[in-house]
A and B are shown apart, each in its own frame.
Chain A
Amino acid sequence: MIFVTIGMHSTGFERLVKNMDEIAGRIKEKVIMQIGTTKYMPKNAEYFRFKSYPEIQRLCKIARVIVAHGGTGSVITAIEQKTPIIVVPRLKKYGEVIDNQQIDFVDALAEEERVIPVYDLNNLENVLKNREFPPTERKNNQRLVNALRNYII
């Protein structure tokens, strides 16, 4: 199963939802999408707008691969469930977000090999055909936690 999630963003992500829905029509694998406030209604994939956080975690866990926007929540949730994540940054020029910082974020995570970046949606289907993705690991955040503990002491 491929799980698509675009986070709690107040703006939808038309490009990704439409593109993934078209892909869902061409492949055998099941596609479930969390579409938030996106206006496009998927025809081939199962979808919902929002669900409880444990339910999102469950879907992330059982998915073979996750396709997400470049938001911190989606990336953290995916990596926590040890599921590979393909990240498509939201872009300013399509009105999906107010600035292009998701590109920086995806770049930085891709450099650390923690996510698989897709900048051009035409490549998404090809990337999804991959059967094996490198494992994703969470980093230890002990240093930041320790620093905060010391500030608050």
Chain B
Amino acid sequence: MKVAILVPSFSKYSGDARVAELQAKEFVRKGDKIAIFALEGDLSPEGVEIYKLGVAKGSLFERAYRLLFFLDLPKILKWLPKLKEYDLVISHLYPMNWLAYLAKKFYRIPYVFYNHGTNPPELFPKLYERIYLWLYLSLNNFTTKNADSAISVSEYARKELREQLTLESTVEYNKIDTTIFHRGINGSVIREKLGLGNAPVMLFVGRIAPQKRIDLLIKVFKLVKQRVPSATLIIVGKHTYDYYSKIVRKMCGSSVIFVDSLPHEKLAGYYAACDLYVTTSYWESFNLPLVEAQACGKPVVAFDIGPHKEVINEKGMLVEKGDLYGFANVCTEYLSQNRELELLPFYPTEKKTICLVCSHGGHLTELLQLSKAFDGHETFFITYDTVRTRKLRKKYLLQNIGRNPMRFIAVLPGIFKIIRNEKPDLVVSTGAEIAIPVFIAAKLFHIETIYLESWCRIKEPSHTGRLVYPLSNIFLVQWKQLLRMYGKKAKYVGEVF
């Protein structure tokens, strides 16, 4: 049988290429004739024919080119007829799907879509990135329409494919090259090279990209260092988003070591050199590095997201998504034998000024129930003037606004002045209407806000909740039933009491 495997980048630095390479080798062993069609790449497995189609250089051009590949008619007209002689086409990712799609359409060649999943646009902070991914997703959708069958790299990816593209697929977990990734590799070479001595080492391998949430990994690492001061973090990966790399580097101390992406053979040495493999990624379809680390005998810690439940082994541990303190706690357990460390409290990674906003009655009682959440930070209140609120430590007391629009206008300048002078990093409110002017001021001064709908709101949103919903960065409710009254932003993560 003659099989064409299409993959955008057939490079030894790419995870998808590693999967395609193993697949090609497998076919060769069975005696099939294999050709790889790739835009670029440097891998050359034995017995496999390789065709490089070429790609625009420079990260922005390259991305644009990949997205709009179908407009490059000369290239398509040059390469498409070559597929005529094959019995099967396997396409690993968009934009290679275009060739498979057209080969199927014009030459009736069986087309297998190999689904590695697509990054969810909402994890990307910039609008143009979300638009790019949205376009990518729709084009991916279009080019997989006539696929004869599909293979997903995990159960999770299979479910996503079904939901996004209504395409059924069978699961075939990615294989890893156990001649490269296995137990017993000597890690001391890399340790010596990086001057690590006996320091406990955490390792992450992957692109420096927003969906990998490396910003959270660095916060976790800062917490870990409070208990294990000698801990070191190594991040191996390609920098693909300049602004994100800048954010990440700015957060790091000297004990974070960045290493540019590595070819597989060298990568194995890094897995061997670490004590713990960590990833705070918010989205994966399989997570090849995690599995490679496990193959090298290392424990892994990750969030309980996507396919992680399917791929993690008994040595590793999953933590609730977003729980950085929990994550750091688990890492400490792996990195140190000293069980007493677990009793030490963590301090926030940076001391923030938090403005607590509430009216004077039940809303204040609710907010005070959460005091522990603000430990280690500087706080001040903006509330109404009553006997009870006068006893609060640091506060600004206002006249009760109630439902009087004149008083609402009257308090605005005062609130703007407080926010401008105090410059809080964050505003947290449990309501009621006093939150409205403060959230308006916070929005204007680009200050982050968290609104917690009152405990007494079960089915119906409060007027304040409705008004501040669009202004707040994080919006929480205390009853699950209330979620359906609000948009996607609203979350339920427990109640005050």
Cα separation A53 to B375 with both chains bound (whole Å): 23
Residues of B contacting A: mostly: loop
**Binding-face segment, A4-12, A14-22, A40-48, A126-134:** A4-12
Q: Is the CB of A153 within 8 A of B370?
A: no
Cα separation A101 to B352 with both chains bound (whole Å): 35
B 156-180 to A, binary, CB cutoff 8 A, 1 in contact else 0: 0000000000000000000000000
Q: Cβ of A81 < 8 Å from any Cβ of B?
A: no
Q: Cβ of A74 < 8 Å from any Cβ of B?
A: yes
Q: Is the CB of A73 within 8 A of B458?
A: no
**Binding-face segment, A23-31, A103-111, A117-125:** A103-111
Q: Cβ of A102 < 8 Å from any Cβ of B?
A: yes
Q: Is the CB of B372 within 8 A of A145?
A: yes
Q: How far is the CB of A42 from chain B (nearest CB, A)?
A: 21
Q: Is the CB of B373 within 8 A of A153?
A: no
Q: Is the CB of B362 within 8 A of A71?
A: yes
B425-467 contacts to A, CB under 8 A, are 426, 428, 450, 454-460, 462
Q: Is the CB of A105 within 8 A of B458?
A: yes
Q: Cβ of B28 < 8 Å from any Cβ of A?
A: no
Q: Is the CB of B325 within 8 A of A52?
A: no
Using known A-B contacts A52-B387, A144-B494, determine if residue A104 contacts B366 with beta carbons closer than 8 Å.
no
Cα separation A134 to B94 with both chains bound (whole Å): 63
Q: Is the CB of A139 within 8 A of B400?
A: no
Q: Cβ of B360 < 8 Å from any Cβ of A?
A: yes
Cα separation A107 to B325 with both chains bound (whole Å): 35
- Chain A residues, Cβ within 8 Å of B359: 8
B residues contacting the other copy or chain, number (CB 8 A): 53
Q: Cβ of B334 < 8 Å from any Cβ of A?
A: no
Q: Cβ of A62 < 8 Å from any Cβ of B?
A: no
Q: Is the CB of A72 within 8 A of B426?
A: no
Cα separation A102 to B456 with both chains bound (whole Å): 7
Q: Is the CB of A8 within 8 A of B324?
A: no
Using known A-B contacts A150-B325, A152-B348, determine if residue A77 contacts B361 with beta carbons closer than 8 Å.
no
Using known A-B contacts A72-B454, A148-B450, A152-B348, determine if residue A8 contacts B360 with beta carbons closer than 8 Å.
yes
Q: Cβ of B406 < 8 Å from any Cβ of A?
A: no
Q: Is the CB of A8 within 8 A of B458?
A: no
A 134-145 to B, binary, CB cutoff 8 A, 1 in contact else 0: 000011011111
Q: Is the CB of B386 within 8 A of A8?
A: yes
* Chain B residues in the interface with A (C-beta under 8 A): 219, 223, 322-326, 348-349, 352, 354, 359-366, 369-370, 372-375, 377, 386-388, 391, 400, 402-403, 426, 428, 450, 454-460, 462, 474, 476, 478-479, 493-497
What are 26 residue pairs bridging A and B, where the CB atoms are less than 8 Å apart in the complex?
A7-B361, A51-B387, A53-B388, A53-B391, A71-B361, A72-B497, A73-B363, A73-B365, A104-B456, A105-B458, A144-B478, A144-B496, A145-B372, A146-B325, A146-B326, A148-B370, A148-B428, A149-B325, A149-B373, A149-B375, A150-B323, A150-B324, A150-B325, A152-B354, A153-B223, A153-B324
- Give 8 A-B pairs besides A72-B365, A72-B497 with Cβ atoms closer than 8 angstroms: A52-B388, A76-B366, A76-B455, A108-B479, A143-B494, A147-B322, A150-B324, A150-B325
